[in-house]
């Protein structure tokens, strides 16, 4: 572990030399020649979309996460929308979800004409607090939509106990959590529907893309139809059987993922174990390096859980610093460390404020938001990249803690 500097270094924001010469982003894709070749082969084939790579990717992905079925989509958001549709959400219905997430999680409920009802999060993991969920249940609750924040699985057993008792589905937004383990099982085959994202900053990328995994064949069939205009058959099936006839059986969308993207996904899937292992190494290094920084709270990992580490969010003890989160953030960016913040609580966005005009507060989510900073976390980070992040955070923390002690 790096030792704390014995004297203050001048911060880059104050005219000092930055820790890095170039910006280290908080996340980015990692592609190699095998990925490129996989895509080129599809570009030279007969099928650019609705072809054989789609089913192959879905089958391999579902098997990897331990689910019976996988249905691919053009984005994680499209996958969330499809899950909300398959859950039967509609006007007059409610789905309970977390404010500590990207807005797409709640938006998918609105897409169906239903209402997202927010419940506060647990102080340790920042995932949905089952006790707070219980307070928000009503006769209109038709689903619970949990998020595996930063890659740490939600309290799935407790949430499933609620949904089973009421006969409603648990939709798990695992867009952060591909590869996470929860009590001996991989996330993906535990909840009624589990949603994944393949955006470039995720563990596996298809450019844009998403997947819903489920063990329910009827839900899978609904999901497939929904992503294909509500049509009950696929173009490739009709071509193979020499048929032209098709029927639209529900109002769906064009949310299909291309063969081009699925070829990239298949190639990336081969590297997923290695990618996860690297992210876990980086998280362990960060945690060891920051445990002695009094103004930094490192992420909590509950017993029986092995997170996937999409993010590494630290929390600042602002009462120990002579600076707010904004100044700390700017100081780290000046050191060329591409920190970020995840997330502005959804109910604070102008659209939600103006639409719902709710006076309700979520003290854990709101209080945490003011203290959160996400450090760079992606599997292509080098050992030097990791040490640069550690150096920069120590440099900035020592400065603002040191100021206070004078």
What is the rounded CA–CA span in Å between residue 384 and residue 337? Answer: 12
What is the rounded CA–CA span in Å between residue 247 and residue 251? Answer: 11
Nearest 5°: the CA angle 284, 287, 289 is: 105
Query: Do residues 376 and 337 lie in contact, with contact meaning Cβ atoms separated by under 8 Å?
Result: yes
Active site residue 202: yes
Distances (CA, A) of 275 to 66, 185, 379: 18, 19, 5
Structure tokens at 84: 């909300």
Greatest pairwise CA separation for the chain in angstroms = 82
Residue with structure tokens 């409603």?
168
Q: Of these residues, 53, 142, 202, 395, which one is catalytic?
A: 202
Residue with structure tokens 């999409």?
310
Residues 6+ apart with CB under 8 A from 346: 99, 101, 103, 105, 106, 116, 118, 352
DSSP state of 229: T
State whether residue 57 is helix, strand or coil. helix
What is the rounded CA–CA span in Å between residue 225 and residue 81? Answer: 13
Query: Do residues 300 and 332 lie in contact, with contact meaning Cβ atoms separated by under 8 Å?
Result: no
Listed residue (107, 172, 121) closest to 146, CA to CA: 172
Which residues carry out catalysis? 202
């Amino acid at each position: 572990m790096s030792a704390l500097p014995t004297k203050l270094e001048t911060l880059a924001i104050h005219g000092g030399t930055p820790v890095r010469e170039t910006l280290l982003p908080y996340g980015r894709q990692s592609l190699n020649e095998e990925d490129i070749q996989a895509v080129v082969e599809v570009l030279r084939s007969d099928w650019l979309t609705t072809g054989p790579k789609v089913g192959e990717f879905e089958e391999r992905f579902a098997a990897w996460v331990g689910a019976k079925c996988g249905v691919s989509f053009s984005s994680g958001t499209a996958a969330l929308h499809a899950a909300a549709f398959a859950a039967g959400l509609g006007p007059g219905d409610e789905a309970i979800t977390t404010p500590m997430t990207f807005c797409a999680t709640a938006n998918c409920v609105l897409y169906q004409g239903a209402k997202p009802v927010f419940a506060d999060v647990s102080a340790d993991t920042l995932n949905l607090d089952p006790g707070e969920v219980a307070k928000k249940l009503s006769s209109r609750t038709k689903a619970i939509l949990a998020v595996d924040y930063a890659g740490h699985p939600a309290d799935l057993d407790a949430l499933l106990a609620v949904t089973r008792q009421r006969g409603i589905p648990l939709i798990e937004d695992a867009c952060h959590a591909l590869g996470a383990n929860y009590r001996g099982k991989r996330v993906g085959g535990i909840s009624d529907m589990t949603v994944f994202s393949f955006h470039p900053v995720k563990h596996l990328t298809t450019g844009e893309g998403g997947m819903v995994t489920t063990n329910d064949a009827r839900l899978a069939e609904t999901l497939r139809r929904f992503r294909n205009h509500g049509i009950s058959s696929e173009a490739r099936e009709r071509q193979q059987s020499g048929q032209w006839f098709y029927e639209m059986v529900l109002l769906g969308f064009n949310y299909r993922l291309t063969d081009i993207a699925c070829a990239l996904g298949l190639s990336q899937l081969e590297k997923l174990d290695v990618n996860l292992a690297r992210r876990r190494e980086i998280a362990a290094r960060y945690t060891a390096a920051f445990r002695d920084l009094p103004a930094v709270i490192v992420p909590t990992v509950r017993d029986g859980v092995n997170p996937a580490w999409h993010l590494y969010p630290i929390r600042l003890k602002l009462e120990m610093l002579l600076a707010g989160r904004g100044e700390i953030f700017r100081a780290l960016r000046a050191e060329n460390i591409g920190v970020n913040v995840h997330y502005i609580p959804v109910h604070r966005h102008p659209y939600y404020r103006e639409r719902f005009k709710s006076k309700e507060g979520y003290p854990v989510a709101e209080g945490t938001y003011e203290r959160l900073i996400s450090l760079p976390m992606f599997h292509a980070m080098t050992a030097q990249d990791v040490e640069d992040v550690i150096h920069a955070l120590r440099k900035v923390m020592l400065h603002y803690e040191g100021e206070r002690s004078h």
